[in-house]
Amino acid sequence: MRNSVILLVSGIAMLCATGCTAQEPLENWQKTQHFERAVSDSSLARMLEQLSQRTVTDMVMAPDGPLDAIADAGFTVEESDTLIRRGYAPYSLQITEYAHRQIADALSQDDIDALFSAGTDPQAIEAVMCAYGRPAVDGQVDWDGCTAQGFVELPEDFRDAHVRYSAAYQAVVDSPRTQTYFGGVSCRVLDQVAARLTSEQRMIDFDGTTLGMRGQPQQDCVILKADLDALDQSAAQGS
């Protein structure tokens, strides 16, 4: 049995845009998404993909992994990463919308408007990006450090909104559904890796593998894949 506890660093994960036109009024979740897209090129889906890449690499390429089978099959990290990218591809927009709907539901209208306003102001965007690149001060984003560097001073209503926004985002990261996306896709990829490495001489499997993100119990791959299958069925019925 292999156990893998995944630690996701607290902070801001920025999400890519979904299809909404300039002519349509934005829903609140699209406004928080706009803010994130304006200040970063990362996304929750991408962060989960990177975690899966590290997880699968650690399990398969580690000293106690199936090294002989890897050598025989010519299996590479690049091949593993390709499987993971393909695994997450159908879920990228789904993860984005889920995350932002949860975030928007947790914020007040004033918070959402403050974030959206900052995300449409080029000077504010530069100040936010500066602050994201600085070490935290007493666990807080160092807005003042960027103001001292000459960036525009961000108003208190934005700073307060950002505190609540960060907490709401972390709640999404810690949610069971995010665990399902990460664990379910990772476990599906492990099945593909096992199929790729199995030969007439040996059979590779990851039976008993459990995965878990920080703050959540580890779950067996059988459960994680079943939960992801259930999300797939729910999405298909809603389409």
Task: Give the per-residue pLDDT at 41.
Answer: 82
Burial class (CB in 10 A: 0-12, 13-18, 19+), 85: middle
Q: What is the residue type of 39?
A: V
**How far is CA 89 from each of CA 48, 93, 95, 123, 239, rounded to the nearest angstrom?**
12, 9, 10, 33, 18
Handedness of CA 155, 36, 41, 182 (dihedral sign): positive
- Please identify which residue in the block is written with the tokens 């984005």: 96
Q: What is the pLDDT along the chain (239 residues), one digit of tens a residue?
A: 444 333 343 333 333 344 444 567 899 999 999 999 999 888 899 999 999 999 998 888 877 778 777 877 888 889 999 999 999 999 999 999 999 999 999 999 999 999 999 999 999 999 999 999 999 999 899 999 999 999 999 999 999 999 999 999 999 999 999 999 999 999 999 999 999 888 877 888 888 999 988 778 899 999 999 999 999 999 888 76
User: How far apart (Å, rounded) are the C-alpha atoms in residues 24 and 2?
Assistant: 49
- Other Cβ atoms within 10 Å of 150 Cβ, number: 9
**How far is CA 8 from each of CA 2, 13, 179, rounded to the nearest angstrom?**
19, 10, 11
User: How far apart (Å, rounded) are the C-alpha atoms in residues 103 and 169?
Assistant: 6
**Is the separation of the CB atoms in 111 and 161 below 8 Å?**
yes
Task: Give the per-residue pLDDT at 239.
Answer: 60
Handedness of CA 105, 110, 113, 115 (dihedral sign): negative
